[in-house]
């Protein structure tokens, strides 16, 4: 299953790879918003830090309001 991003029930396309930002402004509404971020990886990234997998989480993830 590929990684997914949903904002208020709307699928937002994501770009695979490192260092990408995703603009979700078109899916936001005034007030409270529901954001679901699903990142897929494999167990090698969890248990073997030198596995060198080219997908999944590599470091921190930030959700930033601008």
Quick check: 35 and 64 in contact, CB under 8 A? no
* Cα–Cα distance, 48 to 57 (Å, whole number): 13
Could you tell me the two tokens for 7? 């904002």
pLDDT at residue 6 greater than cutoff 80 = yes
* Percentage, residues of the chain above pLDDT 70: 58
pLDDT at site 7: 94
Q: What is the mean pLDDT of the chain?
A: 76
The sign one gets for the Cα dihedral 44, 50, 54, 60 is: positive
pLDDT at site 31: 93
Q: Which residue has the higher pLDDT, 64 or 23?
A: 23
Q: Model confidence over 31-61: pLDDT tens digits?
A: 999 999 887 766 665 566 666 666 666 667 7
């Amino acid at each position: 299953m590929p990684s997914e991003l949903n904002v208020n029930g709307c699928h937002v396309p994501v770009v695979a790879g490192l260092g990408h930002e995703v603009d979700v402004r078109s899916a936001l509404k005034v007030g409270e918003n529901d954001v679901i971020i699903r990142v897929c990886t494999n167990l090698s990234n969890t248990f073997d830090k030198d596995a060198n997998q080219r997908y999944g989480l590599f470091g921190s993830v930030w959700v930033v309001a601008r």
